[in-house]
Structure 1
């Protein structure tokens, strides 16, 4: 019964906390989560199961020796190097529940000049 309640709670969180307009208005920022993990978590919820952890954000890094967010990563992009975007509430819940490998990336990490195309892709993601 506990697993069923957790699954239902997580389904509700996913529905509310991955809404595009809601996310991009998140204060103070929003989080990037590796696309394969986020998709597998969602699909498990659809099957009435809970996810398996930890979240693996390593594929979002520029390289093994540089853990800065890869400026070529895109929302709704390729599964490898792609990411989902979520609110701080969902991010903290997922990391607390499942753990994290790699770095937490937020919208604050893409303010530099090398991230112009990535910022534009997020604006376009919002419009799709």
Structure 2
């Protein structure tokens, strides 16, 4: 007898398969608007840029432990599952002083501004 969890799982699988089948053969939508930066292969990864933004922001705090924390962030291979302790460390570094917090926030915003791109349709 199938329980509700199995039924919802099967329904989700069917929806996903139907969507993939419907999208097969269609041209990809044109890129437009604010876009995550693309890597050398043209892939737009949210994970890579998030790791780098946290590292740049942490490093800019310029207090004891900031450079080491940023270097540790950049070494994380699977950021999606390993970011928690690094985000806590980022907050600890930024809270060491008011200047550290401001520098960290500004560096994070600057890095995001430099990394993201705005693409007009067809360009």
TM-score, length basis structure 1: 0.23
TM-score, length basis structure 2: 0.23
Larger Rg: 2
Higher strand share: 1
Higher helix share: 2
